[in-house]
Amino acid sequence: MPTYPTPEKGGGELRLAPRLVEAMRAALDAALPEEGCGLLFGRGQRVERVVPIQNAQHSPVHFRLEPQAQLAAMQEADEQGLELLAIYHSHPRGPEHPSVTDIEEAAYPQAAYLIWWQDVARRWQVELFWLEGLEDPGAPRGYRLGRLLVDAEGEAPPA
């Protein structure tokens, strides 16, 4: 049975290579003015693959992964022995944290959530969040900040 890097298991961070950060940035730029979205797969706390997926809602303020592409990506990752580590999407107009809708519609308690937004200079910024209360329908939902480490040296994501 796979183990996931959840905060409760001491894994409040994910690691990924700079090329994967750039792949997400490029996909988000291509999706503008809509929210861009996708999935991150890997092993343990190490992201090995980024899969951009079309926003089925075609909206600048909401996202939903295109279902067929999501299923295909998850099946392919499973065949490769990779686990779903995170879901990413952008907030081109903010906020810099999960929205109420993000929290209410979250469906993968084992996955981290990366939220991208543009600062005042229109540069992409990113934060990693762990959503809470997803496994228990009666529990209050919320989020806590995680840590995103770029490359093995643990550099902060480039601004």
Residue 139 maps to which CATH number?
3.40.140.10
Q: Which residues form the domain of 88? A: 7-150
First to last CA, the chain: 37
Q: Average pLDDT in the 35-63 region? A: 96
Instruction: Indicate the range of 17-31, 79-93, 119-133 predicted with least confidence.
Output: 119-133
In a domain, 98, yes or no: yes
Number of domains in the chain: 1
Q: Answer whether residue 17 is part of any domain.
A: yes
Residue 92 contacts residue 35 (beta carbons within 8 Å): yes
Which pLDDT score, from 0 to 100, does residue 2 have? 34
- Tell me whether residue 157 is in a domain: no
Quick check: is 158 in a domain?
A: no
Provide the H-helix boundaries in 1-146: 18-31, 67-79, 100-105
Is 28's pLDDT higher than 70?
A: yes
In a domain, 1, yes or no: no
What average pLDDT does the chain have? 85
pTM: 0.83
Would 125 be classed as within a structural domain? yes
3-state DSSP assignment of residue 136? coil
Residues with catalytic annotation? 35
Instruction: Answer yes or no: is 156 within a domain.
Output: no
- Cα–Cα distance, 128 to 95 (Å, whole number): 13
Give the pLDDT of residue 67: 97
Rounded Cα distance, 42 and 58, in Å: 27
Q: What is the pLDDT of residue 4?
A: 39
Task: Determine what percent of the chain is predicted with pLDDT higher than 70.
Answer: 85
127 belongs to a structural domain: yes
